[in-house]
Amino acid sequence: MARYTKSKKSSDNISVKAGQVTLEGNISIPEGAVGIVLFAHGSGSSRMSPRNHFVAEELNKEGIATLLFDLLTPEEEEVDLQTAHLRFNITLLAKRLADTTDWILKNPELSHLKIGYFGASTGGGAALVAASEKPKVVKAVVSRGGRPDLASENLTRVKCPTLLIVGGYDEPVIELNKQALSLLKSEKKLVIIPGATHLFEEKGKLEEVARYACDWFLKYLVGDKAG
């Protein structure tokens, strides 16, 4: 593996062993990074999601490393396109995210990075389940248009600061996020962005998501260097 710290910003395609499968990903490490955010995609999305790429690039500008990777193999994605059942298999998605977290921790060139999760749609639920299972490792979670309710009983076991971001027009998801917020026992915040729909496609709305996410991770990954 390349020594990422030798350049201002290094971006590489990687393969991560997660249980019995290999997942493809893209990792970007700015020089001097002290934290890394793992992206958990959901609802049929992948590491190629333009929305998540935009947020990742904004995080990179702030000196935070990012890892965007596919939670499903190409074969599983083909099946999911027909059945849409794997994207809702939160146990499977969370296990893949946890395995990828272990890959970071075991890599001598990455293990010093503080870890955060950014979950979108069903990936928001998977991120919270994985965070609940690794309370000493995961320092912060941000969910964009997520389904934290899918984390169900795991919500009460989440220890890290959690930010839930929902579009103002995404009414069913707003209610689901409010319910999840009431179950979280850690530091938590719900941000409803006025005028935004589920995918934050309206002008300037994704930029707002990125700003909130950057501020959250800067506070809990970068601002907590000694933690």
In-domain check, residue 100: yes
- Answer yes or no: is 1 within a domain: no
DSSP helix/strand/coil, 50? helix
Does residue 3 sit within a domain? Answer: no
In a domain, 6, yes or no: no
CA gap 142, 101 in Å, rounded: 16
Residue 227 included in any domain: no
Per-residue pLDDT for the chain (227 aa), expressed as one digit of tens each? 233 333 345 568 888 888 888 888 899 999 999 999 999 976 555 566 788 899 999 999 999 999 998 887 767 777 766 666 666 789 989 999 999 999 999 999 999 999 999 999 899 999 999 999 999 999 999 999 999 999 999 999 999 999 999 999 999 999 999 999 999 999 999 999 999 999 899 999 999 999 999 999 999 998 855 34
Q: Where are the beta strands (DSSP E) in 45-137?
A: 65-69, 114-120
Residue 16 pLDDT:
85
d(CA 113, CA 103): 12
For the chain, give the percent of residues with pLDDT over 70. 86
* CATH classification at residue 79: 3.40.50.1820
pTM summary value: 0.90
* Distance (Å, whole) CA 221 – CA 87: 28
CA 220, 221, 224, 227: dihedral to nearest 10 degrees? 110
Residue span of the structural domain in which 49 resides: 12-222
Taking the CB of residue 171, how many other CB atoms lie within 10 A of it? Answer: 11
Instruction: Give tens-digit pLDDT for 179-213.
Output: 999 999 999 999 999 999 998 999 999 999 999 99
In a domain, residue 7? The reply is no
CA 39 to chain centre: 3
Query: Helix, strand, or coil here: 148?
Result: helix
2 within domain boundaries? no
Burial of 146 (0-12, 13-18, 19+ CB in 10 A): buried
pLDDT for res 11: 67
For 9-31, the pLDDT digits (tens) are: 556 888 888 888 888 889 999 99
Q: Give the total number of structural domains in the chain.
A: 1
Residue 5 included in any domain: no
Q: What is the DSSP letter of 70?
A: -
